Structure 1
Amino acid sequence: MLMYGASGHAKVICEILEAQGRTLYGLIDDNPQVTSLLDYSVYNTLQQAEVVPDDEFIISIGSNRIRKIVAHKLSGVKFTTAIHPAAVVSPRCSIGQGTVVMANVTVNVHSHIGNHVILNTNCSIDHDCLVEDYVHISPNVALSGNVQVGEGTQIGIGASVMQNIRIGKWVMVGAGAVIIRDVPDYAVVVGNPGRIIKMNEPA
């Protein structure tokens, strides 16, 4: 299998794959100055990596927007998931293709995690949550039960979201924020309780 993107985020995914006992052939990165990462070869193009149809991919890029762009660029390849053995994932939840679940994450019953999502270290997703494509749930975030998080949203480190909350798409939730009411698309929310300080333009 191969990873697309050779950054600090990629280092963590490399170690998840190692912990799973999986074989990583190498990484692909557009920067020609990057030739290796954690002793794995880094290639600059799909052609240089000699990709074959059976190769599996994970996009190892932290930016939600860039991850979406690359996923469309790589349409037709086979995406896989990377789930750390120390994660606790309910057999009654679903995890989409290209998604990464890091160490000590909990995903509880009947939650649905979309494609190309990052569930970062120690975050907690309680029962019946919906996390849509290209979301990043940062370390130590807690989503209570029946929370919905829209496409491309970033929940900052240590944030807490109360039960039954709906967070829109491409929202930015600041570190340590406490979300007690619904959040509209493209909002930037900070503080305790969370308050909207800005509305971003749709990309």
Structure 2
Amino acid sequence: MSEPLVIIGAGGFGRETADVVEAINRSEPEPRWILLGVADDSPSDQNLEQLAAREIAYLGTTEELIARPDRPRYVVGIGFPQARRALAVGLDEAGFRAATLVHPEASIGSQCTVGQGTVVLAGARLTTNIRLGRHVHLNPNVTVGHDTVLEDFVSMNPASSVSGDCVVQSAAIIGVAAVVLNRLTVGAGALVGGNACVTKDVPAGATVKGVPAR
């Protein structure tokens, strides 16, 4: 049975999330999701034009969404973890439930768990015994190695890799094409810059870049 769904965020990742919804629906005998539209507190004119070109409705602000009598499932398509957390908390408190979206062209191995609200885009590769928390974003062509934990609100940007036996703590960002070597911890709220190679633990809240990352 199809379920109604709303995407929060009209920007790039929100529209990529709509691609995931469409791909999931194409892959199944009956559509799993009915995409009602997108809510966004401050969409740009360009984003609104791009939604209109795809015939995806703009539903107004998150306050307007919460004021509706119905409670469709939701997913937050906003890349910045702190904004994603604030929106998810508000929607949960208002009685909404998060959906989990995995593109059919992503690869999820054995004994992996995926938390509510997580979005996995095409080409992502997860091997085995991996745990993804709530509202994690995995962009195209990321790799997550065995026995790794990505905590709530983590973002892995395109083509980044986290090796086996790692922990990426809450709301950390792994930048485009960055690499985290095995048995390391990336602290909560840390930022690993694009193309960086992490060779030692990253403290909470730190920004590191370069090869090796400092």
TM-score, length of structure 1 as denominator length = 0.90
The reply to whether residue 65 of structure 1 matches residue 82 of structure 2 is: yes
Identity of aligned residues (%): 32
Aligned mates of 2:69, 2:120 — CA distance in 1: 25
Aligned mates of 2:148, 2:117 — CA distance in 1: 19
Shift of 1:42: 0.7
Render the CA deviation track for 1:117-152: whole Å, top value 9, x for unaligned: 101100000100000011100111111101100111
Shift of 1:31: 2.9
Shift of 1:25: 1.1
TM-score, length of structure 2 as denominator length = 0.86
Equivalent in the alignment of 2:29: none
Q: 1:156 aligns with which of 138, 152, 175?
A: 175
Aligned mates of 1:31, 1:158 — CA distance in 2: 29
Matched pairs, number: 193
The reply to whether residue 80 of structure 1 matches residue 99 of structure 2 is: yes
SS at match of 1:23: strand
SS at match of 1:40: coil
Aligned mates of 1:47, 1:155 — CA distance in 2: 31
- Which portions of structure 1, spanning 4 or more consecutive aligned residues, are displaced by more than 2 angstroms? 31-36
Output the amino acid matched with 1:12: E
Output the amino acid matched with 2:175: G
The reply to whether residue 43 of structure 1 matches residue 59 of structure 2 is: yes
| The structure with more strand, counted as a fraction of residues | 1
Compare 186-195 and 72-81 and name the one that shifted more.
72-81
- Contact map agreement 2:66 2:91 (CA 8 A) in 1: no
SS at match of 2:7: strand
Shift of 1:51: 5.2
Equivalent in the alignment of 2:18: 14
Matches within 5 A, 1:1-203: 1-21=5-25, 22-31=33-42, 34=48, 37=51, 38-44=54-60, 45-46=64-65, 50=68, 52-53=70-71, 55-75=72-92, 76-195=95-214
Shift of 1:160: 0.7
Closer/same/farther in 2, CA of residues 39 and 173 from structure 1, 3 Å limit: same
Q: CA RMSD in A?
A: 1.6
Aligned mates of 2:56, 2:175 — CA distance in 1: 30
Shift of 1:92: 1.0
| The structure with more helix, counted as a fraction of residues | 2
Equivalent in the alignment of 2:28: none
- Contact map agreement 1:35 1:41 (CA 8 A) in 2: no
Question: Gapped runs of 5+ residues in structure 2?
Answer: 26-32
Shift of 1:23: 2.2
Aligned mates of 1:51, 1:179 — CA distance in 2: 47
Aligned mates of 1:186, 1:51 — CA distance in 2: 39
Shift of 1:116: 0.6
Output the amino acid matched with 1:41: A
